[in-house]
Amino acid sequence: MEFDKEVDASGLNCPLPILRCKKGLSELEATQVLKVISTDPGSVKDFNAFCVQTGHELLQLVSSDINFTFYIKKRSA
């Protein structure tokens, strides 16, 4: 999937992946896509809730045994 910016939150636990995501989204224009890499299993639930609460769109979640990669489209202005 194409993206405009990448944030690597590997090795960080809640709430740091979400905080890094928020910072990354603040640097994007509306409708651009942020890729976030996390190793925290709790981040799956956290990012789903974050997107529902903020209006950003979780486009895709790719997971393996140790990595979770989220593609999040910044909400329109």
Model pLDDT for residues 35-47, shown as the tens digit of each residue: 999 999 999 999 9
Integer-rounded Cα radius of gyration of the chain: 11
Establish whether 14 is a catalytic residue.
yes
| Architecture of the domain defined by 5-73 | 2-Layer Sandwich (3.30)
Q: Say whether pLDDT at 26 is over 90.
A: yes
Res 36: pLDDT: 98
Q: Which is catalytic among the residues 5, 12, 14, 44? A: 14
pTM (2 d.p.): 0.95
Return the closest-CA partner of residue 69 out of 36, 45, 39. Answer: 36
How far is residue 51 from each of residues 46, 65, 66, 68, 71, measured CA to CA in Å? 9, 23, 22, 16, 11
Q: pLDDT value at position 65?
A: 86
CA distance readout (Å), 33 to 23, 58, 66: 13, 9, 23
Tens-place pLDDT, residues 40-74? 999 999 999 999 999 999 999 999 989 999 999 99
pLDDT of residue 68: 97
